[in-house]
Chain A
Amino acid sequence: MWDTYLITPMTNVLLFVYDNIGHNFGVAIILFTILIRAITWPLTGQQLKSTQKMQELQSDKDWQAIQKKYKDDKEKLASEQMRVYKERGINPFGSCLPTIIQFPIIIGLYRSIITALAATPLALLDLSRNLYSFLDVAAIIPLNSHFLWFDLGRPESVDIMGFAFPTLAIVVVITSYIQSKLMTPPPTSGDQSAAMGNMMAIYMPFLMGYFAMTFASGLALYFITSNLLGIAQYAMMGRANWSNLIPGKK
């Protein structure tokens, strides 16, 4: 089921794009990422709304009163917060959803990249049985896996004085951090969802960076493109919280 509904469609879309844009797999991944971003646009919209509601809630007097009243009773505070969320139709995980939804996409894309590049006999055999009939894959195999200075099917690094410097992974960490911070509402004391957002803003970039460093660099290209598109989207919608990027500023 996983293969049928996720990996195979993704692989075929990637190959279709590759076949129609001059046989450049890096460009195919970038265009594919734009497509994913377009498909998940409603989710991003939901995320922004959720973030906005959370921000409004921070300045709400009832909310602040609850924080104050139950500051020494964490369990009661949590249950009261949940009551308020429910009453006002706020999903406290709404801001996390687009990040969570990325997980199957990340796994699917990684598998699709490996499948499409078919660098080993078993991978090529696997590819042969996962193709839609509209694709003339025999004509485009083997795919050109080189993009800029790296091989999309392998982890990327640049040799600097004998040290393998993971440039893409570092760019992934930076862009993931910027995107997370731009989306995070300003925290108020005792607010668990904002603290959760802040925690995600710290952990997720390093996690993504580790993935980018360890796995095929096509995945890193997806992360970077997706992050840049996210940043551009928030900026265009006027929702980017730029002040969050300045250390110490609340």
Chain B
Amino acid sequence: MKTKKIFVLTAAVLIFTLLSGCSAAAMNSNSWPGLSATDETVYLANGGFVYAIQVKNGSVIWQYPAEKADSKEAYYADPILTEDNQLILASAGSNHSLISVSPENGRLNWTFGDAEDTWVASPLAVDGVIYAPNSDGKLYALDLNGSFLWAKHISDSALWAQPENDGEYLYITSLDHHLYGFSKEAKETIWDIDLNGAIPGKATLDENGALYIGSLDSTMTAIDAETQAILWATPLEGWVWDTAIIQDGALYVGDLEGYFYGFDAEDGAQLWAPILSDGPVTGTPLVTDEHILIGTETGTIYAFDKEGGIDWQQRINGKLYTNPVEGGELTFFALMENESNIALIALDVDGKQVWSFTPEK
């Protein structure tokens, strides 16, 4: 009888542990690190903590929170700097917090916690207003003191990407397959376009008023922001996760099948045959003076030239999902799931590792 009791209790404990494990994994690691940088400081949002790290040597300037992580907070969105020098952090934790800290010392300025769901997207701070899209489908507007101004329902689905801005309109992408044109003055959606697939990444706007959006429909689409006419659309091999980047009339993007593309932004013509990397590409390519850099889930960093040739590639022990960023003369890649618990590496222009950062346990 005792043996049977133990058997039943063991089975119960086992299933509870397995379910809790799944749940905890889902809660604790629901996204990948966020990254942004200036010439002096790189900011890494790495789940429980946000770190300010010196560009020159990788030493930590401060971490937020300073002591113990709050289990209800999970910072993964790219931290953003406001015009009045605040660092805005968005939490995908159960507290639904949007917070402002000092970029110099990490001290808390204010917290906004009234959204109904988590923050996956980075907010946009422009003209004294913080526009923050939330997973509850609303766009929240706060002033620079963190005071609530208004919230507008945009979609019944989650908003996971930072809005694009042209001064008059915000261009908001949603998982509901739509791109929304939102008037900042009228504070309402003026138009929307169905792109046939969820859009987790941000729309890219060029100087000619064309918007470029990749979607889970495996299509790259160019849209005239003024007329909403589709300028061109081209099928890709896989889902497009993040934002395409445009420079000098060329559009660069990667997909989840591991292909890297270059397009002529004007007509969508491919600049080269799609290049197959060794794993899914989730991050936005980084365009520097010398290279176009991408990281793959498999852990390889590729440096392409502007003609699609590979200048160098560097194998890293870890998964690369985050958008790489540039600060000073270095480029930064955030890592996930590597044996040494390294969270960030800095590379020079030739792909040589200059330093790495491992958070203290």
Contact = CB atoms under 8 A, between A and B. Distances in A.
Main SS class of interface, A: helix
Contacts of B16: 207, 210-211
B5 A199 contact: yes
B63 interface: no
Nearest to B156: A144
Interface stretch (B163-171, B185-193, B195-203): B195-203
A40 interface: no
Interface stretch (B25-33, B38-46, B309-317, B324-332): B25-33
B18 A107 contact: yes
Interface stretch (A28-36, A47-55, A120-128, A240-248): A120-128
Contact of B23 (A119, A196, A203, A215): A215
Contact of B32 (A121, A192, A196, A207): A121
A139 B196 contact: yes
A38 interface: no
A196 B4 contact: yes
Given A100-B11, A138-B217, A141-B216, A122 B19 contact: no
A120 B160 CA distance: 9
B256 A128 contact: yes
Contact of B120 (A107, A120, A138, A210): A120
Contacts of A125: 241, 256, 280, 282, 321
A71 to B, nearest CB: 14
Given A103-B11, A141-B175, A110 B196 contact: no
Given A122-B30, A128-B239, A139-B196, 17 more contacts: A103-B11, A107-B15, A110-B22, A111-B22, A114-B22, A119-B158, A121-B31, A123-B26, A124-B198, A138-B196, A139-B197, A192-B1, A200-B8, A207-B12, A211-B16, A214-B23, A215-B19
Interface of B: 1, 4-5, 8, 11-12, 14-16, 18-19, 22-23, 26, 29-32, 76, 92, 118, 120, 135, 157-158, 160, 175-176, 196-198, 200, 215-218, 239, 241, 256, 280, 282, 321
